[in-house]
Chain A
Amino acid sequence: EVYLEESGGGLVKPGGSLRLSCAASGFTFNNYRMNWVRQAPGKGLEWVSSISRTSSYINYADSVKGRFTISRDNAKDSVYLQMNSLRAEDTAVYYCARDLVPDTGGFPYSFDSWGQGTLVTVSS
């Protein structure tokens, strides 16, 4: 069974940094593109970032470009999101999500497996 578990959320002051982790199990991790999606309290879903299976293709939403960095360690079956220069508007539950099908170098696809999410709160 596919399982994704996020960690690393918490309370951080504006301008601060946080690193989220997502540990995967139950599938061949290095075959799949991985994604981060966030949801601000009471709001809708926002795609944040995507990384291909070999880290060759990395993309960000305009709202986080230059501040967030996605990475992965296929030896550890994990994907990460380094978040710097955090703002109040980054407050959200952050989900990691797997593409539906193995990565063939295309665009982020549909996300069939999601973690339970980790809450990031940016506040002074």
Chain B
Amino acid sequence: IVLTQSPVTLSLSPGERATLSCRASQSVSTCLAWYQQKPGQAPRLLIYDASNRATGIPARFSGSGSGTDFTLTISSLEPEDFAVYYCQQCSNWRGTFGPGTRVDIK
């Protein structure tokens, strides 16, 4: 299963809405997670099973989708949200990651 993410880079201002896309080469049902990674840090789990927020994740982060098309939405960007975001599928033995979307400050 190959995951593609778009756009590669998203340039936005604080307070704006961010919409990130992840597309799978074949259906993964809802077995998809989203991670945030900041420079020099390990990734942090944001969303699992396509739409469930992980413990401690703010409500401005939401996930949706099923099958092959998924979306991570950040409703109103905070300064700490500028980072790289990865999707990952869990529908087979290989925990494939997407190539990432960088959200940077416009």
Contact = CB atoms under 8 A, between A and B. Distances in A.
Interface string A104-116: 0001111110111
Interface in B40-94: 42-45, 48-49, 54-55, 84, 86, 88, 90-94
Interface string B21-55: 00000000001010101000011110011000011
Count class of interface residues, chain B: 20 to 34
Contact of B95 (A50, A95, A112, A117): A50
A108 B90 contact: yes
Given A110-B48, A112-B54, A47 B86 contact: no
B23 to A, nearest CB: 16
Given A45-B86, A114-B43, A100 B48 contact: yes
Interface residues of A, number: 21
Contacts of B95: 35, 37, 47, 50, 107-108, 111
Contacts of B54: 100, 110, 112
A26 interface: no
A93 to B, nearest CB: 9
A107 B86 contact: no
A122 to B, nearest CB: 21
B99 interface: yes
Given A109-B90, A110-B48, A115 B42 contact: yes
A110 B44 CA distance: 10
B28 to A, nearest CB: 10
Interface of B: 31, 33, 35, 37, 42-45, 48-49, 54-55, 84, 86, 88, 90-100
17 contacts: A37-B43, A37-B97, A44-B84, A44-B97, A45-B88, A47-B94, A50-B93, A61-B94, A100-B54, A107-B31, A107-B93, A108-B94, A109-B90, A111-B35, A112-B48, A114-B42, A117-B42
Given A45-B86, A50-B95, 11 more contacts: A44-B86, A45-B43, A46-B97, A47-B88, A95-B42, A107-B95, A108-B95, A112-B54, A112-B55, A114-B42, A116-B42
